[in-house]
Amino acid sequence: MLGDQQIEALSAAARAGNTVAFRFGVAPLWVAVEDADPMEAAAVLERVLGFFAAVPLSATGQLAVLAVGMVERGAPHEPVAEVVSGALARLVPAAAGFAAAWRTAAGRWARLPDPTEGPGAYDDAFARLSRGRPWLRRPGLPVARAIELADGWFALTGWVGPAMNLLRLPGVLPDFPRRAELAAATEDLRQHRNDLDDLTSLLSPPRAPQPG
């Protein structure tokens, strides 16, 4: 079946908890399935959907791009819409929580980290959140909470693109899960990030025409 070898490599990486290998394994799968017909695209999508529950969201952004690509090639959009909506429903509030926690940990006027920066920026942000400012009697966050918020801030970047690509496909937007909730959440988060304007516009309901 199309992409067998590459999907098995992803499965092995997922079972081992090797998120680096998993990320690097998506590109070869793309090459193997880029010419899929609608039936093949649906079969590939069915086989990769389980990875989204088994692998952290911080490592599955590129797989989301592939999943949307399979929808573009004729696979059903509903399961991908549910995955993308669920990911955004977790990442957007976590990113908002990060912005608030950052002000407490780094100071009100401290610049928020660029979410497109590499692992070093993530490590620095996690350290800042977990360390806090003890000299001001502001303790750091518990490790698990600091990881959750830092993951939300940095991983959201990898999901914005596939979300917008999916929402622009015919028939997806009207029934997109959690649309109103996500529109409100991304609207609130826009003040802290510059990569959410288009996504927020897509999610927001159309404005009623003004009376003449």
pLDDT category at 135 given cuts 50, 70, 90 is low
Q: What is the pLDDT of residues 53-66, one digit of tens each?
A: 999 999 999 999 99
In a domain, 208, yes or no: no
- CB atoms under 10 Å from CB of 205, counted, come to 8
Structural domain that includes position 133: 78-203
- Please give the model's pTM, rounded to 2 decimal places: 0.91
Q: Are residues 68 and 168 in the same domain?
A: no
Q: Are residues 50 and 88 in the same domain?
A: no
| Whole-number pLDDT of residue 139 | 67
| Whole-number pLDDT of residue 140 | 80
Q: What is the pLDDT of residues 75-119, one digit of tens each?
A: 999 999 999 999 999 999 999 999 999 988 887 778 899 998 878
In a domain, 149, yes or no: yes
Q: Are residues 82 and 126 in the same domain?
A: yes
Q: Is pLDDT larger for residue 167 or for residue 109?
A: 167
Q: Are residues 149 and 196 in the same domain?
A: yes
Q: Are residues 47 and 92 in the same domain?
A: no
Q: Are residues 29 and 126 in the same domain?
A: no
Decide which of 21, 54, 76 is a domain's last residue.
Answer: 76
In a domain, 3, yes or no: yes
Asked whether residue 206 carries a pLDDT value surpassing 90, the answer given is no
Number of domains in the chain: 2
Q: Are residues 85 and 181 in the same domain?
A: yes
Q: Are residues 37 and 125 in the same domain?
A: no
pLDDT category at 208 given cuts 50, 70, 90 is low
